[in-house]
Chain A
Amino acid sequence: MKEWQTFLRRFSDIQEGKRELFIKDLTAGKAKYATKHVIGTVAKSKTGLEDPDTLWLRGESGERAREPWYISIEQTLEEDWVPGKPYEDVLEAVGKSEKERGLR
């Protein structure tokens, strides 16, 4: 079971279900904190998730939520980015992309 971390503006911004997100790998070593762009199912509880990993949440000031969520990664996307213009809100752009993929 791996550990990941993702950043949100507010902890309450995350919703259970199939999501697109950027997650950072917390595995110790040279490549710790490398980002992956994935589609996966996220949930508060690991029960019902297939092969779940731990997903720590951090808010926009870097504060970590006390309890982790869980993620079952279904697909690692090839693109390290989302479409958008410099200075556009990345989290909104991810939301747009989720809609286009029919996740929302």
Chain B
Amino acid sequence: MAFNSHRDFFEVLEKEGELARVKKEVDWDGEAGAIGRKTYESQGPAILFEKVKDYPEGYRISNGTTGTWSRVALSMEMAKKTSVREIYKEYEKRVDIKIPPKILKKSDAPCKENIMLGDEVDLHQFPMPLIHEGDGGRYVGTWDVVINKDPETNWQNWGMYRFMAHTKNWLTGWPQTTSQFAFIMNKSYLPYNKPMPVAIVLGADPLSHIIATAGIKPYENEAENVGGLRGQAVELVQCETSDLMVPAHAEIVIEGEVMPDQIAPDGPFGEYPGYRSGTMCAGVAVKVKAVTYRSKPIVTMIALGTPPDDSSIAASLTAAVAMKKGLIRHGVPVTDVYVPPEGVTHLIVIGVTKGGTETTRKVLDYFTLRRIMTNKHIVVDADVDVFNMAEVLHCFATRCHPGRGILYEWYEGRSNSLTPFYNPEERRKLKGCSVAFDSTWPPEWEKEIVPIKSSFKTIFGKEMVDKVNNNWDSYGIKL
């Protein structure tokens, strides 16, 4: 049985020893964020803050729903100890399966238990955290699912984008200009000066959030991918003020309209690369028209920052699998792609069956073609386990020629302005540069001159390896 809701999943986390319930009163103003951060940095449990300062009993904040590989495995109904490679493999298998959503009647949808409409809307009734001291506002949308719709084709796009409370009934946010959210807005709303309906969903089932981080192709309904990933249709219900369809079991759904001619400050925010860098006041403003929510609502926070956290883990999974498929389509002979959480989608490891300059050039081409979220790409031979960063680092250090093996490319208008090392002008112009490190043996080298890796498995013959393995216990060496 797939998890229908955030709450169902938290019950399983609790059984598995992956949840801490904090009963002590905690301040939404920095304290919850600081606790969340400290917990991530020791790869600790998911957290449910059960008593939040200034708020009634039952109004809760969660942190770190799928912020470790164990919890990602549990969200996919796999064993807690599943390896990263196995999680990738299973996700890769499931993510292209499409199961259309099931539509519930409003009366059957838990997210409609309570409804604030029009003038009643007051976001301050919810314990929206000020996550990091010095943030531009209270980021209610961090671990969210944001939904908007293409009116021509009825494509309902899901994405994860930050949103903060501006006033009691306005949100501001920053779906990047390269996002599908912006693609729809720029195509079908802004040219006609029309407000665009939007829903910001907090606390859906765990896989809905994971899919919201994925770069699913335009015109594909992510809700169907969630169904495939869960092995069961996701249940949706219609919004009160628009025809957007939202996860019916969500904790909180904020319905509003992106204004085509009104703006207000967003940011700065301690973002996923692990820094608060100067990205602010360049987003969108949303007039909130309704909030529907479950009784005892949970605001789903992630205290975003240095890795690992929900963001770097989810992106590691969803981005890597998308990249692998894209690279194969682009003609790169890929074995596997790994996005190490520590590299916060800036650094990517690509294993290939045939290396060399030509392959490395193709890899760089692929990563600089469209919207660009990455900037460093290490291309390694098939003998290297891309999931093992110690092996990757050894390979990079010893096979990448500093003069011949480093290819780079500049571009403008499609870089990721959150990249910490870009200067203010580069951020403004979306100007950037990407590099690929060819850490493979040149394919034109004769076999006799290719250095032999001096490891147990590679420099000894099979006979010796088998002998030592078979006799291991008799040597009396404990490993």
Contacts and interface: CB of A to CB of B under 8 A. Distances in A.
Chain A bound to chain B: yes
Interface of A: 7, 9, 22, 24, 29-35, 37, 58-64, 79-91, 93
Interface stretch (B71-79, B163-171, B394-402): B163-171
Given A37-B264, A63-B134, A81-B170, 6 more contacts: A35-B137, A62-B135, A62-B136, A83-B261, A85-B261, A90-B282
Contacts of B262: 79, 81-84
Interface of B: 29, 54-55, 124-125, 130, 132-138, 165-168, 170, 177, 182, 185, 190, 258-266, 268, 270, 276-285
A84 B264 CA distance: 9
Contacts, number: 107
B54 A7 contact: no
Given A30-B124, A60-B278, A63-B134, A88 B263 contact: yes
A33 B263 contact: no
B268 A90 contact: no
Nearest to A31: B124
Nearest to B169: A80
A94 B65 CA distance: 39
Contacts of B177: 87
A34 B54 CA distance: 15
A87 B258 CA distance: 12
A87 B260 CA distance: 10
Quick one: which of A32, A85, A86 has the most chain B CB within 10 A?
A86
A55 to B, nearest CB: 15
Given A81-B170, A83-B261, A33 B284 contact: no
17 contacts: A7-B281, A9-B278, A22-B264, A35-B137, A35-B167, A35-B264, A60-B268, A60-B278, A61-B268, A61-B276, A62-B133, A62-B135, A81-B170, A81-B259, A86-B259, A86-B263, A90-B281
Contact of A33 (B137, B278, B279): B137
Nearest to B428: A89
Contacts of A9: 278
Which 9 residue pairs spanning A and B have beta carbons closest together?
A: A62-B134, A60-B278, A90-B281, A81-B262, A84-B263, A86-B284, A31-B124, A81-B264, A30-B124
